[in-house]
Chains A and B, each alone.
Chain A
Amino acid sequence: AQSVTQLGSHVSVSEGALVLLRCNYSSSVPPYLFWYVQYPNQGLQLLLKYTSAATLVKGINGFEAEFKKSETSFHLTKPSAHMSDAAEYFCVINQAGTALIFGKGTTLSVSS
C-alpha cells in the first residue's frame, strides 16, 4: 500500500528564512505525488505535483519540491518565507489512480 509520512507536525520560521517541509513516501510503483496547502478557513489548494516528467517541480507562490527516489523523499522548499505562507501543508500520494492518501499535515508558522 502507498503512504506518505510528514516529518514534523509544526514548523516555525522567521519571515525571509528558508522553508523546508519534509515528506517521505512509500510506494511499490512509481508514485504520483502532490503538495496541497490549506489556509485557515479555506479549502485545499494544489501547490505542485510530481508526475515523473522532472524531478524538480516548481509550484505556485515560489514553492518547489524535489523528488528523490533513492531517499524516497519529496520535500517542499521555499527560499524566503512570507507571512502569507502560514498555513497547513499536506504531502499527498495518489493511490492507484483513485484515492489521494494524505499525510497528517505540517503547520507552518511565520514570524516577523
Chain B
Amino acid sequence: DTGVSQDPRHKITKRGQNVTFRCDPISEHNRLYWYRQTLGQGPEFLTYFQNEAQLEKSRLLSDRFSAERPKGSFSTLEIQRTEQGDSAMYLCASSPGTYYEQYFGPGTRLTVT
C-alpha cells in the first residue's frame, strides 16, 4: 500500500493559463474524490468517480474545471483559463467503497499570479 499520490506538489501559473493535476489512488480503491482547500478552511468536495464513471459534481466545479478517470485508475483535474480565485490546495482521496473512510494524498498547491 503506497498511499495516494499527487503530481505536481506545487504549481505556479499565470492567470489565464491552463493547468492539469494528476492523482494516483490506492490501487484497489474504486472510488476517487477531488476536494479543494483554501487557507483557514476545511476541504470542500468537488467531484468523485466510481471506477471510470464521474457520478457527482459539486456546484463549485465551474465549466472551467474538468476531471477524468480513464480506465478507472489515475485521475486528472484540469482547470482552464485559471483565475486568481482558483489558488488553493487541491486534494485527491480514494476509498474502497461507500461510507468507508477516504485516504488523502498530499495535495497540489496551486498559485495563480
Contacts and interface: CB of A to CB of B under 8 A. Distances in A.
Interface of A: 32, 34, 36, 42-46, 49, 51, 90, 92, 94-95, 97-105
A95 B45 CA distance: 10
Contacts, number: 53
B74 interface: no
A74 B93 CA distance: 23
A18 to B, nearest CB: 24
16 contacts: A42-B106, A43-B4, A43-B91, A43-B104, A44-B93, A95-B45, A97-B99, A98-B98, A99-B56, A100-B33, A100-B35, A100-B45, A100-B102, A102-B44, A104-B41, A105-B40
Given A36-B104, A43-B107, A49-B101, 4 more contacts: A44-B93, A51-B99, A99-B58, A105-B40
A32 B100 CA distance: 9
Interface of B: 4, 33, 35, 40-45, 48, 55-56, 58, 91, 93, 98-99, 101-107
A105 B41 CA distance: 7
Nearest to B107: A43
Most buried by B among A34, A42, A44, A102: A44
Q: B-side binding surface: helix, strand, loop or mixed?
A: loop
Contact of B104 (A32, A44, A97, A104): A44
A46 B45 contact: no
Contacts of A100: 33, 35, 43, 45, 93, 102
A100 B103 CA distance: 11
A104 B101 contact: no
Contacts of B105: 43
A102 B107 CA distance: 16
Contacts of A94: 99
B33 A44 contact: no
Contacts of B104: 36, 43-45
Contacts of B55: 98
